[in-house]
């Protein structure tokens, strides 16, 4: 019985860690389905902990602590999917296209940072309150990023070259939308120069054939 409970617990831990990247939610219904799965994982973790207690394990035991961590990790994913459910497929498509053109060939960190700046602007009263509005705002990004043709061009290039740039950038965007990017909400500018009211962080990137420094600044 003990081995069964421990095995079940390990499976739950694996599920919690795998789902954020494997589940490509793009709308409210899919996010709600993901939340239901995470709640099932929580229920299983709770049942496992109670069964272990009945066997004489204390709450400080390694196994019950692991069950608690599983429950907490699932709770974090529930909140992440609630965050993601606020966005539409069009939001994801537009921001994925933007990230591809602004930082597609850099790093996961930079891709998430570019996405987060745009999302921060959506929530700031000084900018449009939609992803479409922020990306198409005059003098900021590029209105072409919001078109279906721009997105399709990336997918076509991936298909021709055997690359996965669209999915890579989409994953970065979804991580930011889920609230998993460690950037303050008042960071509103990203460029190769400083601006706004001060520097939050600069990130140097060198691919071997080009190098750049991106400055992320407060609004």
Q: Which residue has the higher pLDDT, 77 or 21?
A: 77
Q: Tell me if 120 sits within 8 A of 129, measured CB to CB.
A: no
**pLDDT, tens only, 111-124:** 999 999 999 999 99
| pLDDT on residue 8 | 56
Q: Which residue has the higher pLDDT, 1 or 202?
A: 202
Q: For residue 173, give the nearest of 93, 73, 106 by alpha carbon.
A: 93
Whole-number percent of the chain with pLDDT over 90: 84
Q: Quick check: 45 pLDDT over 50?
A: yes
6-10, 34-38, 72-76, 104-108: which has the minimum mean pLDDT? Answer: 6-10
Q: Quick check: 12 pLDDT over 70?
A: no
CA distances to 7, 58, 160, 172, 214 from 49, rounded to whole Å, are 13, 10, 51, 34, 47
Q: Which residue has the higher pLDDT, 108 or 4?
A: 108
d(CA 219, CA 206): 27
Q: Considering the entire predicted model, what is its pTM?
A: 0.85
| pLDDT on residue 82 | 96
| pLDDT on residue 28 | 87
Q: Which residue has the higher pLDDT, 126 or 8?
A: 126
Banded pLDDT at 131 (limits 50, 70, 90): very high
Count of C-beta atoms within a 10 Å radius of residue 205: 15
15-24, 66-75, 194-203, 207-216: which has the minimum mean pLDDT? Answer: 15-24
Beta strands 187-191 and 211-218: pairing type?
A: antiparallel
Q: Quick check: 87 pLDDT over 50?
A: yes
Banded pLDDT at 135 (limits 50, 70, 90): very high
């Amino acid at each position: 019985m003990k081995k069964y409970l421990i095995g079940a617990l390990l499976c739950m831990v694996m599920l919690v860690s795998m789902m954020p990247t494997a589940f490509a939610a793009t709308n409210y219904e899919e996010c709600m389905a993901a939340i239901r799965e995470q709640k099932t994982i929580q229920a299983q973790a709770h049942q496992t902990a109670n069964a272990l207690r009945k066997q004489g394990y204390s709450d400080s035991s390694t196994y019950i602590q692991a069950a608690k961590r599983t429950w907490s990790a699932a709770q974090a994913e529930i909140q992440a999917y609630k965050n993601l459910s606020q966005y539409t497929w069009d939001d994801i498509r537009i921001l994925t296209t933007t990230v591809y053109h602004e930082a597609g060939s850099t790093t996961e960190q930079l891709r998430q940072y570019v996405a987060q700046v745009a999302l921060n602007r959506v929530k700031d009263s000084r900018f449009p309150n939609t992803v479409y509005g922020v990306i198409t705002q005059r003098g900021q990004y590029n209105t072409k990023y919001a078109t279906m043709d721009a997105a399709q061009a990336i997918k076509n290039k991936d298909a021709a070259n055997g690359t996965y740039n669209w999915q890579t950038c989409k994953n970065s965007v979804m991580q930011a939308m889920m609230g998993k990017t460690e950037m303050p909400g008042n960071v509103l500018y990203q460029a190769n120069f400083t601006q706004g009211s001060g520097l939050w962080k600069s990130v140097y990137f060198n691919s071997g054939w080009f190098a750049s420094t991106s400055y992320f600044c407060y609004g």
